[in-house]
Amino acid sequence: MVMWRGWSRGLLDSTQHDRGSAVIETAMMIPVLIALTVLLLTGLQTGMTALHLADTAHDLARGLARGISVEDIQLQAHTQAPDAELTMTQGDQMITVNLSQQVTVPIPLFSRFSFNLDRSSTAPLESL
């Protein structure tokens, strides 16, 4: 009967033939994980900016509908959303406020990827 010493142990223990591939795999995954994290944070930032612009547009439209002066509305818009562009239109018994803001990815390599967020709100004119 022939006994092979260490033969079964060699098949079960593959770390002898690994030669650092785990380190290489980890080093290759780090940029991918960083990119996914940046993508997630950029998405969250964009969503929060969109919600903030929508809330601000709603507040401004209600203020205009209730009779607050245009100068006060412009000051409030500049205070609440300093990077947004404000446009106001008045129709038949309706006031529409539109806020538009340019959003860019906060990474120098992807800074050319920018888009425009537009949020608007309409409110009926209130008369006493």
What pLDDT, on the 0 to 100 scale, is given for residue 121? 94
Please check whether residue 12 lies inside any domain of the structure: no
Please check whether residue 72 lies inside any domain of the structure: yes
Instruction: Provide the domain limits for residue 104.
Output: 22-124
1-24 pLDDT, tens digit per residue, is 555 555 555 555 555 566 667 788
**Rg for the chain (alpha carbons), in Å?**
29
Token pair recorded at residue 100: 């538009």
The distance from CA 30 to its chain's CA centroid, rounded to whole angstroms, is: 22
24-75 pLDDT, tens digit per residue, is 888 889 988 988 888 898 889 889 999 999 999 999 999 999 989 999 999 9
What pLDDT, on the 0 to 100 scale, is given for residue 17? 62
What pLDDT, on the 0 to 100 scale, is given for residue 50? 93
pTM for the complete prediction? 0.72
Give the count of domains, the chain.
Answer: 1
